[in-house]
């Protein structure tokens, strides 16, 4: 063989070796996870029978130049399911393994019989392979059918009488503990009820994950903090509580134009690498005015965590004046003694009664949120009936003005109790005869309390030293 031919073969061999190594390491897995964040697949088995040997799907990925989308409609392993169908299955199955394919969920029967069971447990992470399956009893059910899938496919299909499940009276909870052991991984289960009148519909599915002792588990869901409600900036800071064990977070933001932001961040990049405290990030992508929503999804080496509950916000149309260069942080730590006066009407037995009441309280500014232009404070008041101090958080949104003389607004809409409160306030610091005076005055306010009372709201107050605040130190939140 000539030198030129030998050189060509060596080059091909090195190229294949490098590509195979790239497929076998975490880089391709990360690319796959970004393309299919909802998939449960997260191992070299996606593309390999055993590295560096490709399975049919891995070969197709390689041939496509790592363009996953172009091979989604193929059935690489010839098991009758397209690559995308297997990736999107719950749980996901391997598109390169003909012995791994989605289990077809039993179709629900026509609505009839005793009703639909509501599942209770197991749910989430479990450590036993023979868990107890528990659901709420149905008053008219005489029998229940338990169906359980695990990573191997259909694992349990069995009828139980209501008496055998411990709920023969049709009240309380039903529970059975089959001896069939589940395989490690994701499990999904359903229950169907029947009686002499027929068979009812399948329950909603419930998922669980069996892990061996010491095996890391996928992180839980994140709890969102802000932005929420009406905001006055198109580039807010997104803040959520850290999730223990999560090493990555995926931010998804919608605005009136559709999907606006989709981006992964490491826990370190959002300031919560220790898995405690809060995480925050301020993307530069500007949102369009109007209603929006955002979510966070967690991830670690064990897999994807669940999506957070959505949080809604509204970007206020138009732009308010930008805050001073140093923001309003100068107010952090200051106390005000205020008087809140409500003047309005109460509705009692279909009769409108005029009322007026005043309450004394204390405000403490504790944080300037520069990302959302919000001066955060806590309001403290003494409840004479309960003989204890109570507190309530308030967010003052900056409107316009200087650092020591500015306008702000507050609005709280609680749809669950039909309570609505709002006001515009003027906060200023003045100097008279060499003395400094700082005041808090509302320019207009309103309240609606549960539909039974409505009226105007005014708040006036002056700054006081912390030593004059009567609120007990163990009651002060921040």
**Chain segment 312-348, per-residue pLDDT in tens:** 999 885 545 567 766 788 889 999 999 988 787 666 6
pLDDT of residue 170: 92
Q: Which of 32-41, 133-142, 346-355 has the lowest mean pLDDT?
A: 346-355
Name the fold adopted by 118-210. Answer: Immunoglobulin-like (2.60.40)
Same fold, 224-315 and 329-468: no
More confident residue, 399 or 153: 153
- Which value, to the nearest 10 degrees, does the dihedral of the CA atoms of residues 215, 221, 225, 231 take? 130
Q: Which of 233-242, 261-270, 311-320 has the lowest mean pLDDT?
A: 311-320
397 phi and psi, to 5 degrees? -90, 125
Q: How far apart, in whole angstroms, are the C-alpha atoms of residue 227 and residue 315?
A: 10
Q: How would residue 405 be classed by pLDDT, with cut points 50, 70 and 90?
A: confident
Token readout for 450 is 């549960």
Task: Please give the C-alpha separations between residue 408 and each of 62, 366, 400, in angstroms, as whole numbers.
Answer: 58, 16, 7
DSSP-assigned states of every residue in 141-184: -SEEEEEEEETTEEEEEEEEETTTTT-TTS-SEEEE--SPPPPS
**Do 442 and 457 touch, CB atoms closer than 8 A?**
yes
User: Residue 122 pLDDT more than 70?
Assistant: yes
Stated pTM of the model: 0.36
Q: Which of 133-137, 177-181, 331-335, 445-449 has the lowest mean pLDDT?
A: 445-449
Share the mean pLDDT of the chain: 83
Q: How would residue 433 be classed by pLDDT, with cut points 50, 70 and 90?
A: low
Token readout for 321 is 């004046």
Residue among 69, 73, 44 at smallest CA distance from 58: 44
Task: Please give the C-alpha separations between residue 263 and each of 234, 282, 445, in angstroms, as whole numbers.
Answer: 17, 12, 40
How many CA atoms lie within 13 Å of 73's alpha carbon, on the beta-carbon side? 1
Helices (H), 252-355: none
User: Residue 258 pLDDT more than 50?
Assistant: yes
Q: What is the mean pLDDT of residues 52-61?
A: 90
Residue among 278, 275, 287, 284 at smallest CA distance from 225: 278
Q: How far apart, in whole angstroms, are the C-alpha atoms of residue 117 and residue 203?
A: 5
DSSP-assigned states of every residue in 217-247: -------EEES-EEES-SSPPEEEE--TT--
Q: Return the CATH architecture of domain 224-315.
A: Sandwich (2.60)
Q: Which of 207-211, 216-220, 321-325, 438-442 has the lowest mean pLDDT?
A: 321-325
Q: How many CB atoms lie within 10 A of CB 262?
A: 12
User: Residue 147 pLDDT more than 90?
Assistant: yes
Q: Which of 277-286, 399-408, 413-422 has the lowest mean pLDDT?
A: 413-422
pLDDT of residue 348: 60
Percent of the chain with pLDDT over 90: 34
CATH code for the part of the protein at 329-468: 2.40.128
Query: Computed over its alpha carbons, how large is the radius of gyration of the chain?
Result: 30
pLDDT of residue 301: 80
- List, in order, residues 6 or more apart from 220 with CB less than 8 Å away: 124, 243, 244, 298, 305, 306
Task: Please give the C-alpha separations between residue 51 and each of 19, 40, 60, 289, in angstroms, as whole numbers.
Answer: 11, 20, 15, 50
- List, in order, residues 6 or more apart from 62 with CB less than 8 Å away: 19, 23, 47, 54
pLDDT of residue 347: 60
Q: How many CB atoms lie within 10 A of CB 216?
A: 11
Q: What is the mean pLDDT of residues 442-468?
A: 77
More confident residue, 15 or 470: 470
pLDDT in tens, 220-231: 899 999 999 988
139 phi and psi, to 5 degrees? -60, -30
**Do 375 and 393 touch, CB atoms closer than 8 A?**
no
pLDDT of residue 16: 41
User: Residue 4 pLDDT more than 50?
Assistant: no
User: Residue 471 pLDDT more than 70?
Assistant: yes
User: Residue 17 pLDDT more than 70?
Assistant: no
Domain boundaries, the chain: 12-88, 118-210, 224-315, 329-468
pLDDT of residue 232: 83
Q: How would residue 177 be classed by pLDDT, with cut points 50, 70 and 90?
A: very high
Residues in the chain: 478
Token readout for 158 is 């069995």
**Do 292 and 302 touch, CB atoms closer than 8 A?**
no
Q: How would residue 352 be classed by pLDDT, with cut points 50, 70 and 90?
A: low
């Amino acid at each position: 063989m000539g030198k030129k031919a030998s050189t060509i073969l060596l080059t091909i061999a090195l190229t294949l070796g490098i590509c195979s190594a790239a497929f076998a390491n975490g880089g391709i897995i990360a690319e796959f996870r970004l393309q299919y964040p909802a998939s449960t697949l997260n191992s070299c088995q996606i593309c390999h029978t055993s590295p560096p040997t490709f399975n049919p799907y891995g070969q197709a990925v390689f041939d496509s130049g790592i363009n996953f989308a172009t091979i989604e409609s193929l059935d690489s392993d010839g098991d009758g399911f397209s690559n995308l169908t297997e990736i999107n299955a719950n749980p996901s199955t391997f598109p390169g393994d003909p012995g791994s394919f989605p289990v077809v969920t039993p179709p629900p029967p026509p609505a009839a019989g005793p009703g639909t069971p509501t599942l209770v447990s197991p749910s989430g992470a479990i450590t036993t392979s023979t868990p107890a399956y528990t659901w709420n009893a149905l008053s008219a059910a005489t029998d229940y059918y338990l169906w359980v899938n695990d990573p191997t496919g259909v694992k349990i299909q069995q009828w139980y009488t209501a008496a055998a499940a411990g709920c023969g009276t049709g009240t309380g909870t039903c529970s059975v503990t089959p001896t069939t052991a589940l395989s490690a991984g994701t499990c999904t289960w359903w229950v169907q009820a029947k009686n002499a009148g027929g068979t009812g519909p399948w329950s909603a599915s419930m998922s669980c994950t069996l892990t061996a002792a010491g095996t890391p588990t996928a992180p839980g869901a994140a709890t969102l903090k802000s932005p929420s409600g009406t905001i006055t900036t198109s580039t807010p800071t997104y803040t959520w509580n850290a999730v223990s064990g999560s090493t990555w977070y995926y931010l998804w933001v919608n605005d009136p134009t559709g999907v606006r932001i989709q981006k992964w961040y490491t826990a370190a990049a959002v300031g919560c690498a220790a898995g405690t405290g809060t995480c925050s990030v301020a993307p530069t992508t500007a949102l369009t005015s109007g209603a929006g929503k955002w979510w966070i999804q967690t991830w670690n080496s064990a897999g994807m965590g669940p999506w957070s509950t959505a949080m809604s916000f509204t970007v206020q149309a138009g732009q308010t004046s930008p805050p001073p260069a140093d923001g309003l942080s100068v107010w952090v730590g200051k106390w005000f003694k205020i008087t809140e006066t409500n003047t309005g009407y109460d509705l009692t037995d279909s009769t409108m009664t005029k009322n007026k009441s005043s309450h004394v309280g204390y405000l403490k500014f504790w944080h300037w949120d520069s990302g959302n232009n919000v001066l955060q404070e806590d309001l403290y008041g003494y409840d004479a009936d309960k003989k204890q101090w109570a507190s309530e958080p308030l967010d003052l949104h900056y409107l316009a003005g200087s650092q020591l003389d500015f306008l702000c607004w507050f609005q709280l809409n609680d749809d669950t109790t039909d309570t609505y409160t709002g006001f515009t306030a003027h906060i200023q610091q003045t100097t008279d005869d060499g003395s400094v005076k700082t005041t808090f005055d509302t320019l207009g306010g309103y309240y609606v309390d549960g539909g039974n009372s409505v009226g105007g709201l005014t708040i006036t107050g002056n700054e006081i030293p912390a030593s004059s605040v009567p609120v007990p130190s163990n009651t002060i939140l921040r």
